[in-house]
């Protein structure tokens, strides 16, 4: 099988978040972009965490009950993030998706966010080349 680096199929145009951002704003960005998750970046551009749709259900339910949004991204994001490197092969990415329940992984290049790799994009590529 030919090698395909994850950089060749990652999505670099998705939303990015910051830890102090209001959770309501972050939820709106995820929904608008139809993104499964978004990276949370520090001021220096490095990855601080990730916020998934699943992470947003708690504050969204709270808002639906109480008619108010409360909290910031930092209150709900996951700080322990499984990442891939831009040079990793798609086969490694597929193995990572088998090993983890995530629908998306942040992809780093020299320690900085290069984009997000979606499980559906890896599957589509494997189906096309298989």
**Domain map (residue ranges) of the chain:** 6-129
What is the Rg, in whole angstroms, of the alpha carbon atoms belonging to the chain? 15
CATH of the domain spanning 6-129: 3.10.580.10
pLDDT of residue 124: 96
pLDDT of residue 110: 92
Residue ranges, the chain, pLDDT below 70: 1-2
Contacts of 22 (CB under 8 A, 6+ apart): 69, 71, 72, 73
């Amino acid at each position: 099988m030919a090698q395909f680096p994850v950089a060749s199929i990652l999505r670099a145009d998705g939303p990015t978040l910051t830890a102090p951002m209001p959770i309501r704003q972050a939820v709106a960005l995820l929904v608008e972009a139809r993104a499964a998750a978004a990276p949370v970046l520090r001021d220096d551009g490095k990855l601080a965490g990730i916020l998934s749709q699943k992470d947003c259900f708690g504050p969204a339910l709270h808002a639906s009950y109480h008619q108010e949004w409360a909290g910031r991204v930092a209150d709900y994001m996951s700080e322990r993030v499984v990442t891939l490197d831009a040079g990793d092969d798609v086969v490694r990415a597929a193995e990572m998706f088998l090993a983890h329940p995530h629908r998306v992984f942040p992809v780093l290049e020299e320690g900085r966010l290069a984009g997000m790799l979606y499980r559906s994009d890896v599957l589509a590529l494997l189906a096309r080349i298989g």
